Amino acid sequence: MDEDLRIGNLFGGDAAGGLFDVPRGEPGVVGDADIVVMGAATATPYASVGAYCANGPTAIRGAVGWPGMGEHHDFDLGGTLLDGATAVDWGDLPISDTEFPANRELIESHIRTVLDGGAVPILLGGDDSIPIPTLAAYDNHGPVTVLQLDAHIDWRDEVQGERFGLSSNMRRASEMPWVKHIVQVGARGSGSARPADVADAIGWGVDLFPMRSIRQGGMQQVLDAIPDDANVYLALDIDALDPSVVPGVIGPAPGGFDYGTVSDLFEAVASKARLVGFNLAEFAPSADVGNRGALVAARLAATVMGLIARQRT
Ligand SMILES: [Mn+2]
């Protein structure tokens, strides 16, 4: 890709601030922010593959952004990005390559600080182990409905002896008393789940909408599964999108969503429920093509940020 052929160069180069040029802020200081952005390279990587999404936050922040971007009209949101709300970017948490319990504590404590400060967290990953410590921070901020978009259901109890890895996030979430409801959308192909894992998810009470059921029954059934005024935590594994849209993932599965379908779903969810948190996981820049997936990931983050902002103003 021609590094000079960037829209930001029309407007003065890359943003000096954080994601979408929102101000950078001191980690741990919420202030009057409505939204706090942070990045995490991983929480609990598997030994077999390591932290393959470690560069995700940097790539997503770099995908789109220019000085003063927040003053421009965003046609996906029908106004400026934040519509009068305020956001701050704490940068990337100091994640360790080896100390995984410490990583989880670090993520959980920073998310808890955001919630206790009355703001809504946006966490850029990082592999899909990041929702586990993130959701743990909602113990005094529930009840929570988790809306997970993913090609995989992530209901393994353990993989290679690790219980906090990316294939276990929804099972760990189901064990948190404040997680009252889980809606999972987009499963397709074959991943870590075995038949018993699927049975456990359904037995727990997950509203499970594999991609086949979305094609046959549409998206309204997903919206109907989310109670009015629920506190919705959005857990987005970017492999929910089609590999032609986001090539940079470790588990590509044909038949995924396009950008607009996911963006419209988020807008519809925000019209009936409160968005209380968002994480974007599994974007692997090393497997991206021409920054195509990074841009899609960033734009979905912008959509969610704008929707949260509109619930705050
Ligand atoms: Mn996945």
Ligand 1 centre to CA of 147 (Å) is 14
Q: What is the pLDDT of residue 2?
A: 58
| Domains held by the chain: number | 1
Yes or no: say if 168 and 213 are a contact pair by the CB < 8 Å rule: no
Q: How far is the CA of 81 from the centre of ligand 1 (A)?
A: 28
* Angle, helices 259-270/292-312, rounded to nearest 10 degrees: 10
User: Residue 229: what are its φ and ψ, rounded to 5°?
Assistant: 65, 15
- For 252-272, the pLDDT digits (tens) are 999 999 999 999 999 999 999
> What does the pLDDT read at residue 13?
74
Ligand 1 centre from 152 Cα, in Å?
4
Q: Is residue 118 part of a domain?
A: yes
Q: Ligand 1 centre and the CA of 154: distance in Å?
A: 7
Residue 2 lies in a domain: no
Compute the distance from residue 242 Cα to the ligand 1 centre, in Å. Answer: 11
Structural domain contains residue 126 = yes
Say how many Å lie between the CA of residue 150 and the centre of ligand 1: 5
Cα of 271 from ligand 1 centre, angstroms: 26
d(CA 280, CA 126): 8
- Distance between CA 103 and CA 107 in Å, rounded? 6
- What mean pLDDT comes out for the span 144-158? 98
pLDDT classification of 6: cutoffs 50, 70, 90: confident
Output the DSSP codes for 240-308.
GB-TTT----SS--SS-B-HHHHHHHHHHHHTTSEEEEEEEE---GGG-STTHHHHHHHHHHHHHHHHH
Give backbone dihedrals phi and psi of 243, rounded to 5 degrees, phi first.
-60, -25
Q: Which structural domain range is residue 232 located in?
A: 7-312
Per-residue model confidence (pLDDT) at position 3: 62
Instruction: Provide the pLDDT for residue 257.
Output: 98
CB 144 within 8 Å of CB 138: yes
Centre of ligand 1 to C-alpha 281, Å, is: 9
CA of 63 to the centre of ligand 1 (A): 22
Distance 13 CA to ligand 1 centre (A): 34
Q: What separation in Å is there between the alpha carbon of 48 and the centre of ligand 1?
A: 16
Residue 145 in tokens: 């409905």
Assign residue 31 the CATH number of its domain.
3.40.800.10
Its pTM stands at 0.96
Assess if residue 1 is contained within a domain: no
1 pLDDT above the threshold of 60: no
- Asked, for residue 266, whether it belongs to a domain, the answer is yes
